[in-house]
Homo-oligomer: A and B are copies of this chain.
Amino acid sequence: MTKSPFLMLFSCLLIGFKLLAADPSGAEASGAEASDAEPLASDGNDGYRLWLNYEPVRNASVKSEYLKYAAFIGRPASGEIMQSASQELQLGLGKLLGKSVNITNSFAGKSGGIVFKIETSADTAQPVEGYRIQLSGGNMIISSKSEQGILYGTFALLRHMQMQLPVKGLNLASSPRVRYRMLNHWDNPDGTIERGYAGQSLWKWYELPERVDPRYADYARANASLGINGTVLNNVNASARFMSQEYIVKVAAVANVMRKYGIKTYLSVYFAAPKTLGGLKTSDPLDPQVRAWWKEKVAQIYKEIPDFGGFLVKANSEGEPGPQDYGRIHADGANMLAEAFKPYDGIVIWRAFVYKADPNADRFKAAHEEFVPLDGKFDPKVIVQVKNGPIDFQPREPFSPLFGNMPKTPLGIEFQITQEYLGFATHAVYEAPIFEECLDSDTYVNGAGSTVAKIVDGSLHGYERTLIAGVANTGNSRNWTGHPLAQANWYAFGRLSWDHQLTSEQIAREWIALTLTQNPKASGHITALMLRSREIYVDYNTPLGLSRPWMGVHFAPEPWQNKGSRPDWTAVYYHRADSIGLGFDRTASGSNALAQYRPEVQKQWNNPDQTPLPYLLWFHHVRWDKKLSTGRTLWEELCTRFYTGADSVVWMQQQWDLAKPSLDPQIYTDVAERLKVQRREAIWWRDAWVLYLQTFTKQPVPAGFEPPKQTLEEVKKSVNVYLMR
């Protein structure tokens, strides 16, 4: 059922070819043999279903337990979200238990079913979106104060069943720790996706509003199953198109689908729209006409989308227009928009991703310098969205010094799920450890234990509005994310946005069980691969705290790039390699960016002898011959990382192959082939760095490592291919 006939036929062909390959003469290949392809094909999984496979429950005793509650689905009169929940449950039970279960609203006194129950506040102190699942009166009760909570509970139960966990003593209860859990799509109206590596945008603007792609509903189901409750449809480098009536009705058609799954629709806005679209003379946020234009615009949107979520704004950042174009401050712009949202539930999300093109400044410090002075100046409807690190989604960054330093301003966190700096769709990098590492970082703003997570979830500064956003890695590729393992990054982001206490390993094991296999050995191999994948990537890409060895493309190694339209858009700006050493001095003797952190944090990082190696070159310019804690010099340590990192991809391939017997053949092959690309490119990275840094160190590759087979010029030539039109 799960594979397109075409792909199925193709599998048959493959089998056929295999048989024939075994016998080049083309001798007797029996149809019986060839038709062995069939079961393979029908088992086939093209990845479209993500973690909602709903494979039949094989464990007979577990299945019989569940069947005790499969007599009916009890759903009180309800709105469309609870209807989605009941339909999803009916779907899931049908697949998992092979039983078609009725949905009924006349279940009083009946038992043996699964019953939805809307709680009154009297029942529980549980937050509105939370849910509880328990056994009572011979029924399984999914209860919540909201239909949305019931939907989340339904997906939690289906997850429980997919993992074949026992019903006995079932008592699941959970609530989200963060209020706004959303994806940011960097999708353009022409269908391209900025930094997207999984095909074209899911949103077909030329077809909307009349043509509503069924895939929109599957997108909503996948997100709702993780507790994601918001989606920003368009790129932060926003087109003014989306503020036109033509596009508002298109957006409304998408919002109508999202609404059924408790997802609110948001838009990124082009700050100069009053001028370019509205025909006004200015977009000055203090201009009355401009303020009136936005008010009217927001009203126009709510007319079409009554539950519209709000605006996301990238202003005065990387050339985008903003309030500073008129001598105003960020708060002026944000508060103007917030005022327009006053009559409605919507909010304004204002990005703190700003940095001036100043060769003498340290980009690391820019956001802190611009935004900390604004603390307390923002309207309560405004959330400031801060990237996890101070620069830009590098494979490893220290947490942004903004966290903890704006107690009067709700700070949301922005992670990047799409692998802009993580090898696009050909490198397997499990990102949960990146998210977890940042959320668990201690800012010390209110003493020890003042983690970024506690700032983001509002528990530290009592923010009313809390936000976690992830830049989506979805596209119209059949499997949504290009690399099959990249589905786990979408999954991990969603699960962590609901509960940041979950560990990377828990999430990995869960995702593997739902998506790939429940075989314990295979799961162990894949978990190991996933958990180590990020460190392996860092080792061959940017070890010891290196960052941004890229120019525009963010794909091929370019540590030598020293010419750019701005100094901070070159690679040398970041690594500062010279004849003496390597790294960016951000201590008092350098840019002193460290001063933006609390003393306890500074203490961890301001002494090169004590700075943990993963952060060393983030904060220090280190001599090539300096002996590190590993007993190796910086140069030796770098080479060790580059080489072991690249070689570890072979280990990843081994782990994947060990899991092969338990994997769907199509997904096995897909990942196996991508790992081959990753292996080749990891060596490319290693050689690029080693050969380039040798021009400074003049030292050979340490004993035990084979020097690169290619010259620096050859590597540059192969890189330049990817920079051509």
Taking the complex as formed, is A173 at the interface, i.e. its CB lies under 8 A from any CB of chain B?
A: no
- Pairwise interchain contact B77-A211, C-beta atoms closer than 8 A: no
Taking the complex as formed, is A367 at the interface, i.e. its CB lies under 8 A from any CB of chain B?
A: no
- Pairwise interchain contact A206-B199, C-beta atoms closer than 8 A: no
- Pairwise interchain contact A246-B718, C-beta atoms closer than 8 A: yes
- Pairwise interchain contact A103-B244, C-beta atoms closer than 8 A: no
Taking the complex as formed, is A506 at the interface, i.e. its CB lies under 8 A from any CB of chain B?
A: no
Q: Which residues on B sit within 8 Å (CB–CB) of A90?
A: 12, 16, 31, 34
- Pairwise interchain contact B29-A102, C-beta atoms closer than 8 A: yes
Taking the complex as formed, is A531 at the interface, i.e. its CB lies under 8 A from any CB of chain B?
A: no
Chain B residue nearest to A247 (CB atoms) is B721
**B interface footprint on A64-102 (CB within 8 Å = 1, 0 otherwise):** 000000000001111010111011101100110000111
- Pairwise interchain contact A83-B20, C-beta atoms closer than 8 A: yes
Q: How far is the CA of A248 from the CA of B276 in the complex (A)?
A: 45
Q: List 11 A-B contacts (CB under 8 A).
A: A6-B48, A6-B49, A6-B221, A12-B90, A26-B82, A26-B83, A211-B426, A239-B724, A244-B721, A277-B721, A476-B476
- Pairwise interchain contact A34-B100, C-beta atoms closer than 8 A: yes
Specify which of B28, B46, B718 is in contact with A102 (CB 8 Å cutoff). Answer: B28
What is the CB-to-nearest-CB distance from A707 to chain B, in angstroms, rounded to a whole number?
22
Q: Which residues on B sit within 8 Å (CB–CB) of A12?
A: 87, 90-91, 94
- Pairwise interchain contact B105-A28, C-beta atoms closer than 8 A: yes
Q: A294-302, A536-544, A576-584, A673-681: which one contacts chain B? A: A673-681
Taking the complex as formed, is A217 at the interface, i.e. its CB lies under 8 A from any CB of chain B?
A: yes
Q: How far is the CA of A389 from the CA of B289 in the complex (A)?
A: 51
A interface residues, Cβ below 8 angstroms from B: 1-2, 4-10, 12-13, 16-17, 20, 25-32, 34-35, 46, 48-49, 52-54, 75-78, 80, 82-84, 86-88, 90-91, 94-95, 100-106, 191-192, 197, 199-200, 206-207, 210-212, 214-215, 217-218, 221, 239-241, 244, 246-247, 276-277, 424-426, 475-478, 555, 666, 670, 673-674, 676-677, 680, 718, 721-722, 724-725
> 15 new A-B pairs (CB below 8 Å) besides A206-B555, A211-B670?
A1-B8, A7-B214, A12-B90, A16-B86, A25-B77, A26-B75, A26-B77, A26-B105, A28-B103, A28-B104, A29-B103, A210-B676, A241-B725, A247-B721, A476-B477
Q: How far is the CA of A67 from the CA of B86 in the complex (A)?
A: 47
- Pairwise interchain contact B724-A276, C-beta atoms closer than 8 A: yes
Q: How far is the CA of A94 from the CA of B101 in the complex (A)?
A: 35
Chain B residue nearest to A24 (CB atoms) is B77
Q: Which residues on B sit within 8 Å (CB–CB) of A26?
A: 75-78, 82-83, 105
Q: How far is the CA of A648 from the CA of B32 in the complex (A)?
A: 53
What is the CB-to-nearest-CB distance from A554 to chain B, in angstroms, rounded to a whole number?
12
Chain B residue nearest to A718 (CB atoms) is B246
Q: How far is the CA of A143 from the CA of B680 in the complex (A)?
A: 45
Q: How far is the CA of A35 from the CA of B191 in the complex (A)?
A: 36
Q: Which residues on B sit within 8 Å (CB–CB) of A214?
A: 7, 10, 666
Q: Which residues on B sit within 8 Å (CB–CB) of A718?
A: 244, 246
Q: Which residues on B sit within 8 Å (CB–CB) of A476?
A: 199-200, 476-477
Q: How far is the CA of A449 from the CA of B17 in the complex (A)?
A: 48
Q: How far is the CA of A53 from the CA of B30 in the complex (A)?
A: 24
Q: How far is the CA of A197 from the CA of B100 in the complex (A)?
A: 40
Chain B residue nearest to A723 (CB atoms) is B241
Q: Which residues on B sit within 8 Å (CB–CB) of A101?
A: 31
| A26, A101, A424 — most chain B CB neighbours (10 Å) | A26
- Pairwise interchain contact A6-B52, C-beta atoms closer than 8 A: yes
- Pairwise interchain contact B32-A102, C-beta atoms closer than 8 A: yes
Chain B residue nearest to A199 (CB atoms) is B200
Known A4-B46, A16-B83; judge A725-B197 contact (CB<8 A).
Answer: no
| A6, A30, A76 — most chain B CB neighbours (10 Å) | A6
Q: Which residues on B sit within 8 Å (CB–CB) of A191?
A: 199
- Pairwise interchain contact B674-A211, C-beta atoms closer than 8 A: yes
What is the CB-to-nearest-CB distance from A197 to chain B, in angstroms, rounded to a whole number?
7
Known A13-B91, A214-B666; judge A724-B240 contact (CB<8 A).
Answer: yes
Q: How far is the CA of A101 from the CA of B12 in the complex (A)?
A: 13
What is the CB-to-nearest-CB distance from A426 to chain B, in angstroms, rounded to a whole number?
6
Q: How far is the CA of A211 from the CA of B91 in the complex (A)?
A: 34
What is the CB-to-nearest-CB distance from A156 to chain B, in angstroms, rounded to a whole number?
18
What is the CB-to-nearest-CB distance from A85 to chain B, in angstroms, rounded to a whole number?
11
- Pairwise interchain contact A5-B1, C-beta atoms closer than 8 A: yes
Q: Which residues on B sit within 8 Å (CB–CB) of A475?
A: 200
Q: Which residues on B sit within 8 Å (CB–CB) of A2?
A: 4-5
